[in-house]
Chains A and B, each alone.
Chain A
Amino acid sequence: KAGVTQTPRYLIKTRGQQVTLSCSPISGHRSVSWYQQTPGQGLQFLFEYFSETQRNKGNFPGRFSGRQFSNSRSEMNVSTLELGDSALYLCASSRTGTANTEAFFGQGTRLTVV
């Protein structure tokens, strides 16, 4: 069974640009959540989507947004990129997103902002 797929794997963008990252969850999973990982802050929760609705949101500025499609695929968008947005962006999918169902992570997209 295919795992969580994130595209692209690597990305280099210029400060001020915007970027869109994609996540395809495991088949049958309806919850997709996004995380940012940096050396200084560790792994931080960005937001979660379930059945096309944002269910939870972390403490990030409005430049970070996301959406989920009817096939559960999700995208996250970062506008007006800053150097500090350089990070590994991870998505995780879960069948229902409840506490007794495990979440599985993709390999991440490494974003470098120059």
Chain B
Amino acid sequence: DAKTTQPPSMDCAEGRAANLPCNHSTISGNEYVYWYRQIHSQGPQYIIHGLKNNETNEMASLIITEDRKSSTLILPHATLRDTAVYYCIVRVAGDNAGNMLTFGGGTRLMVKP
């Protein structure tokens, strides 16, 4: 799987958009970009994923650059409950690739009042 690089920590003001960057410059054409978050000592929570098009759901938006070497997760109106560690992961496609997620260090997002 391609390696990802994320800033170790970020701050965001409550009510503002949180933009979390991820670099995956070695991503291959069949690898998906996934985002998960983990609130202290809980299981990781799925947020969103995409291949090459931008994606949006009720939680967030995922913007993938045209060359797919980087992406940004956007939380449009951050709340205190969005304080968590955010993980950007790339996953290989293919039936035998399975459900193996390779977690890096993630970005610790602190939302402040």
A→B interface (CB under 8 Å): 4, 31, 33, 35, 42-45, 48, 50, 55-56, 58, 88, 90, 92, 94, 97-100, 102-108, 110
Question: In the complex, A14→B91 CA distance in Å?
Answer: 37
Tell me the interface secondary structure of chain B in the complex.
loop
Tell me the interface secondary structure of chain A in the complex.
strand
Q: Tell me which residues across on chain B come within 8 A of A55, comparing CB atoms.
A: 96, 98-99
Q: Are A56 and B100 in contact (CB under 8 A)?
A: yes
Q: Are B43 and A4 in contact (CB under 8 A)?
A: yes
B→A interface (CB under 8 Å): 30-32, 34, 36, 41-46, 49, 51, 87, 91-105
Q: Tell me which residues across on chain A come within 8 A of B101, comparing CB atoms.
A: 33, 35, 43, 45, 92, 103
Q: Are A42 and B44 in contact (CB under 8 A)?
A: no
Question: In the complex, A58→B41 CA distance in Å?
Answer: 22
Q: Given contacts A99-B31, A99-B32, A99-B94, is CB(A105)–CB(B43) below 8 Å?
A: yes
Question: In the complex, A81→B22 CA distance in Å?
Answer: 37
Question: In the complex, A53→B97 CA distance in Å?
Answer: 14
- In the assembled complex, the CB of A98 is this many whole angstroms from the nearest CB of chain B, namely 6
Partner of B43, one of A33, A48, A108: A108
- In the assembled complex, the CB of B34 is this many whole angstroms from the nearest CB of chain A, namely 7
Q: Are B95 and A102 in contact (CB under 8 A)?
A: no
Q: Tell me which residues across on chain B come within 8 A of A48, comparing CB atoms.
A: 98-100
Q: Tell me which residues across on chain A come within 8 A of B46, comparing CB atoms.
A: 102-105
Q: Tell me which residues across on chain A come within 8 A of B31, comparing CB atoms.
A: 99
Question: In the complex, A100→B104 CA distance in Å?
Answer: 20
Q: Tell me which residues across on chain A come within 8 A of B44, comparing CB atoms.
A: 43, 90, 92, 105
Selected A-B contacts with CB under 8 Å, 30 pairs = A4-B43, A31-B99, A33-B101, A35-B101, A42-B103, A42-B104, A43-B87, A43-B101, A45-B102, A48-B99, A55-B96, A55-B99, A56-B99, A56-B100, A90-B44, A92-B44, A92-B99, A97-B99, A98-B93, A99-B92, A99-B93, A99-B94, A100-B51, A102-B34, A103-B46, A105-B43, A105-B46, A107-B42, A108-B43, A110-B41
